[in-house]
A and B are shown apart, each in its own frame.
Chain A
Amino acid sequence: MKINDACEIRDSVRSGRISAAEVATAALKRIEEADSRLGAFITVQPDRVLERAREVDRRARSGDAKLQLAGIPVAVKDNISTRHLKTTCGSRILQGYVPPFSATAVEALENAGAVVIGKTICDEFGMGSSTENSAFHVTRNPFDLERVAGGSSGGSAVAVAAGMAALALGSDTGGSVRQPASFCNVVGIKPTYGRISRYGLVAFASSLDVIGILAPSPRDAALLLSTVAGPDGRDSTSARVPVPDYLAGLERPVKGLRVGVPREFFDPGLDREVKGLIDEALRNATSLGCEIEDVSLPHTPRAVADYYIIAPAEASSNLARYDGVRYGYRVPNPCDLADMYVGSRSQGFGAEVKRRIMIGTFALSSGYYEAYYGRAMKVRTLIRQDYDKAFERVDVLLAPVSPTPAFRIGEKTDDPLAMYLSDIYTVTANLAGIPALSVPCGFTSGGLPVGLQILGSHFQEEILLRLAQNYVKSFPVAAPPLRI
């Protein structure tokens, strides 16, 4: 069986046509066959998976009505806590860390009958755009094994793209769900800040971090979002906003929807072929009855600079907790406390994490705080106001996700700034806290996937998913065969 349709798996398991154990076995077999070359997973425990799947089968037989995700194999990014299952964040500093609790989102999906199939590799603590930056291995793009999967949720994107999981959780601080989704021909949604509880998501930049979803289709993304969204007493920033049934209105037409195209997202840095595919997608949206108009988000050109002050500043504070005392790596035989802190952190963190801690520490340090962090918080307000103004006129925005398709492995590893600049079209949604998703819209002549980004106003996930669903139904992308 193929693991590529979560809704169908759910229906089949609920009706007894197939067991959750059979689905889990098929997913494990696919991982066994493909993942030694793709490198999407870091931890897979087949015994645990099958035990959980059999438990779901027992619940299904006893008529448990709460199994909205019955038997669906879900991959979970390794910066999301899973009780009694190793959670490393792709870092040496958490190499052997086994959380004593699960993230609220993981609890919710397991309660609904989903089976956590394994933990997926990511850039260390989510810091990176290629899934090359972990203490472990590189994840490869299933459409071209010499190219990156995107990141930082690259492992989760590849798990779904290659049929090793029917759904995946990722996290998106500056594009880490949408960009790998775009690079791997899957749907990736970054919900509104606070829509999904962050409890158990290991903190990178707390005012930007959200848990997101990678899925084979907008419908499957809607299914999972309906289950994991909602307020949580364990996360004071989770939103007390009612959660709609995102599946309910999914097929409703989008005729008359007002769509804005932000001209700043079509700058000279945008690859010619990607631009061609996005232009075609805009024409397709018109033929669905959308009314397209030009809009301006004038502060977009400052967004990467803004993001690379705010995110490292918050990271430098959040990552101060790794001190070698309560959990994580401790340097052997430290001579005193200071030596233990410095040694554990310097040996435990990788180069990119240290770089960001340094930038953040600098931006928050006495004498520079106002010029860097203080100013960045004000520019963030301007970026957010750009969106507020745009959404007075239009319902959604359409734009590219990334300036280029998947780049070659190793191409940007020596040039951190080049890597940062590739986040230009994704960071603004995090700074503004708005929802955004990537939906497949075509392939380049070289056979690489390209995603279309749909951005909406706060808590308007329903409209984004509806437009995406209408889009894939009318303009399905013919994907070339996977390389594996």
Chain B
Amino acid sequence: MSIAVKKAMTNRFLAILTFALVFINLVPIGWMVYCSFKDNEEILAGEVAPGRRHNDVAFMEPTPTGFLVGTQDGGVNQLDAGLKLLKHSNLGTFATSYLLEKDTLWVLSSNRGLQAVSTHDLAVLASYPIEEIAKAYGEAWKTLWVNDVAGSSLERMPDGIYLSFLFRDIPGIMRFDPAGRTFLPVAGLTTDKIGLVRHFARQGGDTLSLLTSKGYFRYASLSQTMVKAMPSPAVIPGDIGGFAELDKNRVVFTRGKGALIYDLDGDTTLAVLDAESGLGTSVISAMTVQTPSMNHDSTTPTCLWLGNSQMVASIPLTDGAVDYRVMEKRLPAFPLLGEAVRNPDDVTGNETTNLLALEDGSLLAGGVRGGLALLGASGGQTASLRLPKPPFYFRWRNFLDLWRYIDFGLYLYNSFVVCGSVMIIAMVLASLGGYALARYEFPGRSSFGYSVLATQMIPGIMLLLPIYLMYVNIAKSTGLVIKGTYFGLIITYAAYFVPFSIWILRGFFASIPKELEEAALIDGCGPFRAFFRIIVPSAMPGIVATGVYVFLSAWDELMFAWVLTSEKTYTIPVGIRLFVGNFQNRYDLMMAAATVSTLPVMILFFLMQKQIVSGLTAGAVKD
């Protein structure tokens, strides 16, 4: 009895050991696939946990009962005045922007288009998908890479809701007419004229201020004219990161490490604000603070968040002048806001993205990753909240990028063409050769067998040098281009794999009973007919297994392909090698490329597993 128990326990232990080995074995592959779905920033930061969409606060607005807060990922939250979460809904959107109008919250996103959401129950009232918006431009706008849209803008103007996406393929700004439910392109605001729209904001009654990749523009919507057009160099040297309006004549532009306040009437620079230290990151976008006291004539200081690390404050001085200051959010002592934001990391999690000044002098701060904090008028944090985490999502982006940034589709196609052709050629020739070796006695049979084995021992590089030189010289002397064509690579591979395949197939042919073909020969078949009718079908499992093995080996070949292909015929390993050189630290793309190039052979192996295993082991053990 005890021996049986001991035996069972040993068996159990060994089974566990086996599966532990299996697990460790699979970890690298799992890590590869996992990282192909990760954001590179997360990989570089060493974050192992699965990525979520970022729910940075993008929009905050006071409502009669409290606040309405929208996040980048389409999270809409109803909060009471004490920052208690009343209602939450996630629209699952990308690059979301919001516009509040009475009881309707307009939500614009790159994947769901324009949606109208009720502020009462957060239900979607109306939805205008992206295809419908795209119709405004007819043929001109066909593709939208949802993940590529860096941002969107949404603004109510007298003649409708203006909307745009920060994306290179969008032909311009559109106007949505809620009554007629139609989207129309806004004349004069096309991408080729004004560039890519980073941000726009309503200014005064009917003018729209736009910051674009080409500069600053002001557009009167009612008269449909451009009031002001300032190309970038006139405004600020270098790249403009974002902008915000201080009042109707003053605009803040931000650059890499600072900001500049510009007087639009006089076209003069009022103040150049330079953040001294700690501003490594560039300012990405500007965010206006939608506050009632958004006017520097008022007695209270106002502040604008320019990006994820800077803010501009305008502080009225006693003599009527205004002092503008750029402040960094990590500043230890915040002169303007007192103690409350002494350490913004504690308040909102990481970084503050949005500030809202309230009537009573208190301040609502919204941060990255859904952090919210209410800062009292006298300083000090009165309430804080972290918004619900966004759901996990399947991040296809790396695979899409792979197809667009590098010619991965072409490489995949080339690999299939080359490996498929090699497989077919090798199998046809090796069947003939293997059969001849297995069935016929002829002079030179054994020396052929040995020479086949011997070729496997030549280092590839030894053959590669002369083959390369031969191809180059043939092209130079006869004009017949072999290097860089499919043909060149295919015959080179075939020459390498055929002898090897012959050697393996010989065993399969030898195992077919001789009586089969003898019967066929008696029936009046010629040797060729007998071969194709009788022998090939019965050796098919072996031929298939060897063929798949040849395919897998050719798929794996880098050195010959590296030297013998050119831009149009790069196979996957060559393509990956080139791309790794160009994108040194893009581990996300590397792993996506690795996954995509492993997948076809994995599938092939799975389908053919039985044949390959039996074929290989038959060759090794019995032969």
Q: Do A and B bind each other?
A: no
